[in-house]
Structure 1
Amino acid sequence: MAAAGGAAQPPRQYKLAPQSELRVEVPPDAPVRVRLVAGTAEVFGTELPPEGWVPVPPRSKIAIFTWHGATVELDGASESEYSSDETPMVIYVNTHAILDARRARARAAAAQGAPLEASQGPRVIIVGPSDSGKSTLCKMLLSWAAKQGWKPTYVDLDIGQGSITIPGCISATPIEKPIDIVDGIPLEMPLAYFYGHPSPSVSPDVYRALMKELAQTLDKQFSGNSESRAAGMIINTMGWVENLGLELLHNSIEIFKANVILVLGQEKLWKILKDATKNKPGIDVVKLHKSEGVVPRNPKYRQKTRSFRIKEYFYGIANDLAPHSNVVNFSDVSVYKIGSHQAPKSALPIGAEPVADPTRLIAVNISTDMVHTVLAVSYAKEPDEIISSNVAGFIHVTDVDIQRKKLTYIAPCPGDLPSKLLIASSLTWYEA
């Protein structure tokens, strides 16, 4: 049964056979909710509670999976919905079981006083082209691990979408319980470094530098916390897997010291990474099938999703937050950007080499060009600490008054900014 998007629909029931799933696409502006009537079922590793209605966030693509059979009820107009028994879930849960065993070995090693390397749990990096189901597999592996009592660290390197905080960030957060179906990744303690663009091609050196900063910070945390070290990491990556994208993928594997590489949906990439790591003992490269339920997204859809993620930051997933508008004098804040657009070698005189430092800090004059852009608030005390500092949060510029030298912005909470050092970006959002 497939639904006509936008048409009013009565609640409908699906009786799912064991090891099958109901795939649902939720439109951007029509509420959809789901209810477990009988049996047991889960959404990306998180169990559906019995009987109660659970709202599904707008623009979601979810799969309600059951191991032993279930009856579920849907209410609301979805863009599409259908059940399928073609699912890679058994392979995915077997992968989780292997990772779980490695965590247990790492914990036991730590208890015996083994060196840090021997007590390091799995550092799993999930790679594959766009729309291969990487972030979905991340959620499953994280939720299953949390259900077993582990607190794995989720690392998101996909600056185009941003599943921990807004797009344009390289970020990480500990996952202490299965990921909430409605609220998504918890935001209490994210560690975010602001790159400020939806693609690493704008400034790949800055992207690498920020990956290194995040990896070093996590290594420090792990060195003093054997439980976090044993639980390990689940690392999500972007879908650009050719040319510069592939080079940055190699960089991320090295920088985060990944010891398990899960390749989704592309045999060629699996072969490339297998060959690249064959002389590096202790790294497993595993090819996994992607789910047939993965839906391709075009660039326009991705852009809309980015805007939605930014709006969500300020207004909440259910549009239930009220951001605060504030005004500051130009003299009260300093805006910087990291890195400069450098001319390609082909545009330089013959024999000349580019000399600009690709990660240097550049002061930015406040102008009307900043209206509708997102700025990050840095934890840095001094400008030269910006690239090595994570960010406290984000503001959205709503007005720039050049004559009065006033900048108006919205922020998620009232009060003064925690820092006067702001980082510029190319991320824009237009309030409807």
Structure 2
Amino acid sequence: KSEEKGIDLTIVQDYKLAKDNELRFEVEPNERVKLDLVDGSAEIFGTELVRSRSYIFESGAKIAVFTWFGCSVKLTGKLEACYVSKDTPMVIYLNTHAAVEQLRKTAEQEDIRGPRILVVGAQDVGKSTVCRLLLNYAVRLGRKTTLVDIDVGQGGVAIPGTVGALTVERPADPVDGFDLKVPLVYNFGHTSPNGNIKLYETLISRLADVFNAKCDFNSQIKYSGCIINTCGWIKGQGYQCILHTAQSFEADVVLVLDSERLYNDLKRDLPDFVNVILQPKSPGVVERPRESRRDARDERVKEYFYGPRKIYFPHVFDIKFSDVNIFKIGAPALPDSCLPLGMEQENTQTKLVPVIPGRDLTHHILSLSMAESLEENVVETNVAGFVVVTHVDTDRQVFSVLSPAPRPLPRNYFLIMDIRFIDIH
């Protein structure tokens, strides 16, 4: 089978898991591993496994197979680490889901908006996994809960450097994650909120407004509520961003993973009606060094253009300088003495600055704004997708791009991101 290419078929391990146990494994770099459910029932981050399918995980994947009632699984291929653990917070997470579901039922009965849950904590405590679990459990009950992702470092809904929202209508695939066909995405352009705090907060407010409008329009989405995944910056301005998010979305529940100090600060600073809950992180959570976070970002961008397991064939074409307008968001701050009377320093952080294409544009990712004219607020308009500049020819006044879709471009305003991707396909 072509699917089994790159899997060492000579290494086969069978595991029998007792109820409430978890099998945790990591795939070796440059290897692939096949997982088969032989007997019983199991799930990966809230998605049930089926016996008739083999699940193939790529290099570096970190997976936890949990069973409520016991199961047998077979792993084929080279593993970096693999062990069975009884020590899991799954029962806590299931209880959280049950409590949230109760809030959804109340929302339905009383025709009020459903629960809005903010998941916060430092880097690498498993925030994305908890969000995925809660979303999968909700969708298995027929809910249409919205994932709001403001973790610009990882990009759970689109690529890193963006914030976005996605209405989840089916469980995440154990290998490929949620179906990302129609997300709502905004260009932020940096991999950390401190790249432009004012812009970050502006986009969070914008996301909240759009989500509220969607709730007014669709009662199923309104009752199902949302789950907000945040980034791991929890001190100083990062903490202020958490407060801003809680306020913008009018969060009802804040789940704090593994940080007592953050829990106590939020308890003090958020209104009394917000339920702040401290929860443990899973002992299976692995801390990633900076390099592997960077690699994961590159992988995410590559997947955007080439698809999981390189199943897409992106297009390459030239764009004339004269056919498009390229902007960056945020002008350098001026000394207060140079500012026009009554103008705030902050206004410059969300200002559009025209960019003349030059060689330094090479390898930058550009997001294509859905704005049809500059009369619209381009900064707060969602984006259609992304291209990466592969070459700039200043003599011919054209630049070449790698694009997931063929020509022609649906719009002609590009926003430059502070993120580069070198295509060595």
Give the TM-score taking structure 2 as reference length: 0.94
2:273 to 258, 267, 282: 282
- What is aligned with 1:35? 36
Query: Are residues 1:203 and 2:204 paired?
Result: no
SS of the residue 2:79 aligns to:
coil
Deviation at 1:57, TM superposition (A): 3.9
String of CA shifts for 1:303-352, please: whole Å, max 9, x gaps. 1110000000000111111000011110011100111232688xx9xxx9
1:133 to 119, 122, 126: 126
CA distance in 2 between counterparts of 1:204 and 1:355 reads 10
Q: Is the 8 A contact 1:161 1:167 kept in 2?
A: yes
- What is aligned with 1:238? 231
Q: Which structure 2 segments of 5+ residues have no match?
A: 1-6
Q: Is the 8 A contact 2:204 2:248 kept in 1?
A: yes
Query: Are residues 1:401 and 2:402 paired?
Result: no
CA distance in 2 between counterparts of 1:310 and 1:75 reads 28
- What is aligned with 2:256? 263
AA of the residue aligned to 2:101: D
String of CA shifts for 1:276-324, please: whole Å, max 9, x gaps. 12xx242100010100000001111111110000000000111111000
1:361 to 346, 352, 367: 352
CA distance in 2 between counterparts of 1:211 and 1:57 reads 33
Deviation at 1:370, TM superposition (A): 1.1
CA distance in 1 between counterparts of 2:84 and 2:229 reads 27
Matches within 5 A, 1:295-374: 295-342=286-333, 354=345, 357-374=348-365
String of CA shifts for 1:348-384, please: whole Å, max 9, x gaps. 9xxx984752211110111111111110000011235
Q: Is the 8 A contact 2:31 2:58 kept in 1?
A: no
Query: Are residues 1:104 and 2:96 paired?
Result: no
SS of the residue 1:290 aligns to:
coil
CA distance in 2 between counterparts of 1:86 and 1:207 reads 37
Query: Are residues 1:54 and 2:55 paired?
Result: yes
Q: Is the 8 A contact 1:202 1:341 kept in 2?
A: no
Q: Is the 8 A contact 1:264 1:288 kept in 2?
A: yes
AA of the residue aligned to 2:69: H
Q: Is the 8 A contact 1:167 1:309 kept in 2?
A: yes
- What is aligned with 1:421? 413
TM-aligned CA distance change 1:49 to 1:333, over 3 Å: same
CA distance in 1 between counterparts of 2:60 and 2:417 reads 25
AA of the residue aligned to 1:72: V
Give the TM-score taking structure 1 as reference length: 0.92
CA distance in 2 between counterparts of 1:208 and 1:8 reads 50
AA of the residue aligned to 1:377: L
AA of the residue aligned to 1:412: P
Aligned-pair RMSD on alpha carbons? 2.0
Q: Which structure 1 segments of 5+ residues have no match?
A: 1-5, 111-118
AA of the residue aligned to 2:403: A
1:169 to 162, 176, 186: 162
- What is aligned with 1:146? 139
Deviation at 1:51, TM superposition (A): 4.1
- What is aligned with 1:3? none
- What is aligned with 2:380? 388
AA of the residue aligned to 2:408: D
CA distance in 2 between counterparts of 1:28 and 1:412 reads 27
CA distance in 2 between counterparts of 1:47 and 1:198 reads 32
Number of positions where the alignment pairs a residue of Structure 1 with one of Structure 2:
414
Q: Is the 8 A contact 1:167 1:198 kept in 2?
A: yes
